[in-house]
């Protein structure tokens, strides 16, 4: 006879990355949305394309900021 599965706690849940839209990233960086799209196309800002929309993780946004510090 199999033992019952233990109940899952909040610690067992894998944390999913936070995704931002190009509009949100433009607001965060205080730039035009076209600038965000150009950065993605130039591969300076990594993004995931879901359907017709790009999504940028908080981690990728942080890396972009670090790589472009002056």
In angstroms, the first-to-last Cα distance of the chain is: 64
Q: Is residue 2 part of a domain?
A: no
Is the pTM here over 0.85, yes or no?
Answer: no
The predicted pLDDT at position 16 comes to: 85
The predicted pLDDT at position 23 comes to: 98
The predicted pLDDT at position 17 comes to: 87
Instruction: Please tell me the total count of domains within the chain.
Output: 1
Residue 66 has pLDDT above 90, yes or no: yes
Provide the residue range defining the domain that includes 30.
17-67
Q: Is residue 7 part of a domain?
A: no
Where are the alpha helices (H) located in 4-57, listed in sequence order? 22-29, 33-41
What's the CATH code of the domain at 21?
1.10.1660.10
Q: Which tens digit of pLDDT belongs to each residue from 3-58? A: 555 565 556 667 888 999 999 999 999 999 999 999 999 999 999 999 999 999 99
- For residue 56, count other CB atoms closer than 10 A to its CB: 24
The predicted pLDDT at position 4 comes to: 59
With H, G, I as helix, E, B as strand and everything else as coil, classify residue 60: helix
């Amino acid at each position: 006879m199999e033992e019952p599965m233990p109940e899952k706690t909040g610690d067992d849940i894998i944390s999913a990355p936070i995704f931002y839209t190009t509009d949100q990233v433009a607001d965060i960086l205080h730039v035009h949305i076209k600038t965000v799209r150009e950065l993605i196309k130039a591969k300076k800002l990594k993004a995931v394309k879901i359907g017709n929309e790009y999504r940028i993780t908080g981690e990728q946004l942080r890396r972009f900021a670090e790589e472009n510090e002056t």
